[in-house]
Amino acid sequence: MPIHLPLQQGSDSLASLLAGSGLLLALVLLAALALAALALLGLAVWLTWLTARAAASVPEEHRRLDPGLAWLLLIPVANLALNFVVLPRISQGQAAAARAKGLLAEGLDAGESLAWWFSAADLGKWLFGTASVAPLLGGLAGFLGSASLFGSLVLYILWLVKACEMRRLLMGQANKKPLPPGPIVG
């Protein structure tokens, strides 16, 4: 004796019922949103792992902070203040270690200025993004928020490339020639 479920009455299948009501579209959009959120979370964890790895490359005597503190950057909103603490200290430690090994000329930084500029741009992105909902500030704040978003993304990539290169240099995996003077940002 067949069992008739309410979902089967008046329709050919569950899919046609869902498609007719728009629920299928909502479920697909929800699944896409969940996948995008997981992908962004995975990207954030990977970038933080690279940051922690760069911090761990600094010998104990030159460290300015514990490498595990880099993982605090995953805390939403708190990372706005922690960027100003964690990233410059990683660069300071890398620069001190590279100078001690004779791999970095005196007066050059190992990405510290990039870390400060990124931290400021990241904070600006959040502040302008928040202010963009205000009626009188909306357009200007939205523009400045978008500019800060682009700027902070570029500056973080530049800082991360510099930090990873310094890590390779300190670990002996890169070319052992001293780094040439680069443009000074800031």
Judged by average pLDDT, the poorest of 6-10, 35-39, 139-143 is 6-10
The 3 state secondary structure assigned to 76-109 is CCHHHHHHHHHHHHHHHHHHHHHHHCCCCCCCCC
CA gap 175, 51 in Å, rounded: 21
CA gap 50, 37 in Å, rounded: 20
Q: Is the pLDDT of residue 34 over 70?
A: yes
Retrieve residue 86's tokens. Answer: 């964690």
pLDDT of residue 179: 53
DSSP 152-184: HHHHHHHHHHHHHHHHHHHTT-S--SPPPP-PP
Q: What is the pLDDT of residues 97-121, one digit of tens each?
A: 998 888 887 777 888 999 999 999 9
Q: Is the pLDDT of residue 10 over 60?
A: no
> Nearest 5°: CA angle at 150, between 121 and 75?
55
- The contacts of residue 36 (CB under 8 Å, 6+ apart) are none
Give the E-state strand segments of 37-165 in sequence order.
none
% residues pLDDT > 90 (the chain): 49
CA gap 58, 156 in Å, rounded: 20
Q: What is the pLDDT of residues 39-91, one digit of tens each?
A: 999 999 999 999 999 999 999 999 999 999 999 999 988 999 999 999 999 99
Torsion, Cα 125 74 46 100, to 10 degrees, reads 90
pLDDT of residue 104: 81
CA gap 29, 36 in Å, rounded: 10
Q: Is the pLDDT of residue 9 over 60?
A: no
| Angle, helix 138-170 to helix 23-56, in steps of 10 degrees | 40
